[in-house]
């Protein structure tokens, strides 16, 4: 309060002025709390932090800085940061001074990666850090500089190991029969890919893949792709099929399998792509055969049958056009049906109404699929324009040793007629002949069976109850059965009595005339099993009732094994078979969640081998690798079923004890680990001994987060090394001195 004298309208007054200071006090208290919180963060920061003036004089340091440099707080205070960073070398000191001047002059933050700190023990550590300008009095000047830094040595070693692993993985990827690429799930661009994938989507080399937007070849919307990426970690996610768009506009059907993995410090998705063009063609061909036989048995008019053939062939295969001609009453060629991807070409063929070459001739019968040369207009012009590549023909409807018709086909540029496609077209040719000669129903059924028998895909036909009525030789070979033992038995995937496989949704789709697919373990007659993929297409009658099931079943055991191997490489160390750092990042939160839920003790034993470098130097890396592999077996043999051993890289290992016992029991286990590690290793006819320094951190006693527990276990391990090595240290706070508070197994 304040009392003042004043005059108002000629009268003297006393004014009492009152102000509320509680708000100001509350703000001051809040600021003190914030400052206290910030100080706590700085003290527990996982990076070293130095504060020094513009001349390099150190004003303050945090515990991590003192740990990394090996100095106490008193030893660092007042020292010169330039000396610590240069070691007295003039060139280094000049570089640091230039950085400080630039930071202060421009009021900017600079990141430096190639710096070296000189520790108290004379050793050097590679560091990377950030210089930030500040001021002690809030002015715009630069009286204080903050330097946050971390030890870059472990990162460099990890990068070297990763490079070696990448060479191995790249060799596997490059020789894979499937297309493989890494997808950035945020930007939706290709990060890396193999040559098989590049050629699949019509690119010349792998360099063309890097940075390629997924939407340049995907046929799904961006929203759909992002939804599928979000579902990758869901238990119900499975392989799906889609198509990719090539630069020339053609779509390639593919099956997709994807798994999330870490890649170069960021999230990525490993995508395996398989070209299923041939499989789709085989499947669609079988369905076409079935449809043709159904149309023939129903007495479908010829024009409708011919149009069905041309429409389906153009939709299934890389044909630009398919035209069917028959002999007219006067011996002339008469157009019966035409289908084309090119509307201009289709209009011209309809207008002309005749094939490109002679309709009859002996060579015509003896050389089916002959390529047309010396084309006349407009065919030669269309070929020059790239509307099609090869123009070929196939006679059909033989009668009295003369062709009664011809099938004319043009292929997309760059495509060719393979043997499988020729076989298929010849099968269609046979069906047309069969239709023209009005063979009886039995002959048609035998022809259908023949078409299925020569098909490479294992296939069978079942009744609406799942009883197998017919199968081709490829299917007999797949399941190890014969017709006598197989026919009239219910297919295991279609057996509704098996409650584990009953799928009402699948049967609902089939009754609606929709195809279905699935995977299951198929047991052969002799007892062996394989993982099968089955694709089922229903046949409905005129009343839309289900009358038959046409299925193609393939063995995908090998494919799944390769996918599993790729996932294993991503999360396991190839030398020891132990889970690696990526696996630790993926699993750790799960261990913590269980410990929190059931109020259990979770223990981290972080250990680094003592004397391992000498083994490598004296006996070679091959002997070192042998030692690490045997050590992993020894340590795992001492652990319980629920515990986990990780190799983090080099000679660093981490043990996670789930639901650990008392501190004494943990110490006893750690002692046993030291004992088995200390036992001699037989390497190249020599007995070699090593030790280990073990640091231990406990949840919830020491910390409650993954980062803090790992950091504390690491600090305890380094404390064990600094106190003589081959010993155990429990984390017991950020000590300022090296007082002997640990446990020495040797007494």
Burial track 461-485 (b if 16+ CB lie within 10 A, e otherwise): bbebebbbebbbebbbebbebeeee
User: Does one domain contain both 382 and 439?
Assistant: yes
DSSP string across 666-682: HHHHHHHHHHHHHS-EE
Q: What are phi and psi of 255, to 5 degrees?
A: -105, 140
Structure-token pair, residue 378: 């407009």
Residues with Cβ within 8 Å of residue 57, at least 6 apart in sequence: 78, 79, 80, 81
Q: What are phi and psi of 413, to 5 degrees?
A: -60, 130
User: Does one domain contain both 204 and 98?
Assistant: no
Confirm whether 267 is domain-assigned. yes
Q: What is the pLDDT of residue 706?
A: 92
User: Does one domain contain both 307 and 401?
Assistant: yes
User: Does one domain contain both 429 and 504?
Assistant: no
Domain CATH code at residue 96: 3.30.450.20
Q: State mean pLDDT over 725-735.
A: 85
pLDDT bracket for residue 655 (50, 70, 90):
very high
Q: Is residue 379 within 8 Å of 402, Cβ to Cβ? A: no
Question: Taking 90 as the threshold, does the pLDDT of residue 497 lie above it?
Answer: no
Q: Is 330 helix (H, G, I), strand (E, B) or coil?
A: coil
User: Does one domain contain both 264 and 285?
Assistant: no
Confirm whether 735 is domain-assigned. no
Please write the tens of the pLDDT for every residue from 123-160. Answer: 888 888 888 887 655 555 577 888 888 887 777 777 76
Confirm whether 744 is domain-assigned. no
Sequence-distant contacts of 230-234: CB under 8 A, at least 24 apart: 232/258, 232/259, 232/260, 232/269, 233/260
Confirm whether 345 is domain-assigned. yes
User: Does one domain contain both 285 and 402?
Assistant: yes
User: Does one domain contain both 675 and 690?
Assistant: yes
Confirm whether 551 is domain-assigned. yes
Structure-token pair, residue 575: 């030398």
User: Does one domain contain both 298 and 421?
Assistant: yes
Domain CATH code at residue 616: 3.30.70.270
Confirm whether 565 is domain-assigned. no
pLDDT bracket for residue 415 (50, 70, 90):
confident
Confirm whether 104 is domain-assigned. yes
pTM over 0.75: no
Question: Taking 70 as the threshold, does the pLDDT of residue 632 lie above it?
Answer: yes
Domain CATH code at residue 351: 3.30.450.40
pLDDT bracket for residue 17 (50, 70, 90):
low
Question: Taking 70 as the threshold, does the pLDDT of residue 258 lie above it?
Answer: yes
User: Does one domain contain both 591 and 720?
Assistant: yes
Q: What are phi and psi of 9, to 5 degrees?
A: 50, 45
Please write the tens of the pLDDT for every residue from 48-76. Answer: 888 888 778 888 888 888 888 888 888 88
Q: What is the pLDDT of residue 557?
A: 86
Question: Taking 70 as the threshold, does the pLDDT of residue 734 lie above it?
Answer: no
Confirm whether 616 is domain-assigned. yes
Q: Is residue 663 within 8 Å of 646, Cβ to Cβ? A: no
Structure-token pair, residue 703: 């910390």
Q: How many domains does the chain have?
A: 6
User: Does one domain contain both 367 and 285?
Assistant: yes
Average pLDDT, the chain: 82
Domain interval for residue 440: 279-449
Which residue, of 119, 151, 183, is where some domain finishes? 151
User: Does one domain contain both 360 and 440?
Assistant: yes
- Percentage of the chain exceeding pLDDT 90: 30
Which residue, of 426, 449, 472, is where some domain finishes? 449
Does 521 or 165 have the greater pLDDT score? 521
pLDDT bracket for residue 441 (50, 70, 90):
very low
User: Does one domain contain both 582 and 618?
Assistant: yes
Chain mean position to CA 208 = 20
Which residue, of 560, 593, 625, is where some domain finishes? 560
Alpha helices (runs of H) in 77-211, residue ranges in sequence order: 81-86, 90-106, 153-174, 195-200
Structure-token pair, residue 673: 């680990």
């Amino acid at each position: 309060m304040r009392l003042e004298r004043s005059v108002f309208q000629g009268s003297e007054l006393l004014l009492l002025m009152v102000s509320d200071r509680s708000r100001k006090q509350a703000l001051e208290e809040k600021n003190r709390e914030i400052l206290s919180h910030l100080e706590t963060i700085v003290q527990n920061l996982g990076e070293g932090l130095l504060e020094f003036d513009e001349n390099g004089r150190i004003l303050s340091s945090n515990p991590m800085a003192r740990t990394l440099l090996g100095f106490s707080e008193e030893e660092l205070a007042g020292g010169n940061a330039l000396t610590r960073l240069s070691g007295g070398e003039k060139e280094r000191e000049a570089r640091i001074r230039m950085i400080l001047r630039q930071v202060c002059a421009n009021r900017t933050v600079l990141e430096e990666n190639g710096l070296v700190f000189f520790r108290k023990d004379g050793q050097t550590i590679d560091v990377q850090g950030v210089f930030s300008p500040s001021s002690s009095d809030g002015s715009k000047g630069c009286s204080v500089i903050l330097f946050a830094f971390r030890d870059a040595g472990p990162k460099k070693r990890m990068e070297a190991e990763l490079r070696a692993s990448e060479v191995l993985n790249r060799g596997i990827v490059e020789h894979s029969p499937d297309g493989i690429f890494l997808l950035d799930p945020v930007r939706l661009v290709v990060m890396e890919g193999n040559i098989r994938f590049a050629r699949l989507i019509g690119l010349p080399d792998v360099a063309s893949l890097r940075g390629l937007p997924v939407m340049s070849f995907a046929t799904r919307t961006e929203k759909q792709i992002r939804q599928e990426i979000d579902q990758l970690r869901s238990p119900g996610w499975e392989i799906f099929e889609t198509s990719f768009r090539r630069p020339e506009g053609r779509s390639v059907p593919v099956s997709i399998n994807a798994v999330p993995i870490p890649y170069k410090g960021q999230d990525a998705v490993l995508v395996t792509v398989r070209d299923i063009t041939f499989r789709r063609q085989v499947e669609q061909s079988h369905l076409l055969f079935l449809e043709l036989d159904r149309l023939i048995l129903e007495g479908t008019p010829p024009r409708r049958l011919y149009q069905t053939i041309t429409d389906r062939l153009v939709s299934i295969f890389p044909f630009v056009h398919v035209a069917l001609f028959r002999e007219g009453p006067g011996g002339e060629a008469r157009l019966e049906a035409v289908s084309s991807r090119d509307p201009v070409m289709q209009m011209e063929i309809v207008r002309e109404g005749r094939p490109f070459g002679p309709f009859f001739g002996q060579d015509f019968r003896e050389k089916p699929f002959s390529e047309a040369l010396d084309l006349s207009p407009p065919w030669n012009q269309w070929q020059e324009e790239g509307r099609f590549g090869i123009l070929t023909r196939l006679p059909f409807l033989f009668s009295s040793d003369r062709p009664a018709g011809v099938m004319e086909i043009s292929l997309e540029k760059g495509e060719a007629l393979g043997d499988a496609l020729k076989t298929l077209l010849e099968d269609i040719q046979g069906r047309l002949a069969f239709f023209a000669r009005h063979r009886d129903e039995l002959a048609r059924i035998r022809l259908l069976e023949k078409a299925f028998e020569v098909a490479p895909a294992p296939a069978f036909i079942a009744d609406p109850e799942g009883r197998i009525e017919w199968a081709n030789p490829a299917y007999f070979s797949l399941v190890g059965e014969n017709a006598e033992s197989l026919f009239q038995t219910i297919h295991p995937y279609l057996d509704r009595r098996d409650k584990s496989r009953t799928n009402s949704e699948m049967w609902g789709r089939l009754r609606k005339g929709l195809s279905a697919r699935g995977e299951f373990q198929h047991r052969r007659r002799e007892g062996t099993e394989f993982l099968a993929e089955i694709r089922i297409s229903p046949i409905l009658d005129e009343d839309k009732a289900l009358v038959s099931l046409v299925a193609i079943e393939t063995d995908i055991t090998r494919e799944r094994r390769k996918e599993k191997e790729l996932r294993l490489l991503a999360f396991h160390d190839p030398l020891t078979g132990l889970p690696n750092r990526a696996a630790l990042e993926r699993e750790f939160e799960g261990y913590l969640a269980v410990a929190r839920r059931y109020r259990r003790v979770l223990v981290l034993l972080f250990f680094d081998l003592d004397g391992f470098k000498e083994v490598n130097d004296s006996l070679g890396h091959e002997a070192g690798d042998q030692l690490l592999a045997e050590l992993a077996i020894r340590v795992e043999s001492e652990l319980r079923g629920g515990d986990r051993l990780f190799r983090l890289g080099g000679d660093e290992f981490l043990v996670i004890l789930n639901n650990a016992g008392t501190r004494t029991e943990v110490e006893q286990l750690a002692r046993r680990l030291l004992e088995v590690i200390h036992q001699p290793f037989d390497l190249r006819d020599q007995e070699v001994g090593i030790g280990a320094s073990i640091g231990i951190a406990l949840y919830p006693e020491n910390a409650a987060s993954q980062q803090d527990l790992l950091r504390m276990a690491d600090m305890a391990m380094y404390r064990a090394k600094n106190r003589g090595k081959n010993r155990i240290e429990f984390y017991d706070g950020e000590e300022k001195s090296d007082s002997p508070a640990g446990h020495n197994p040797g007494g």
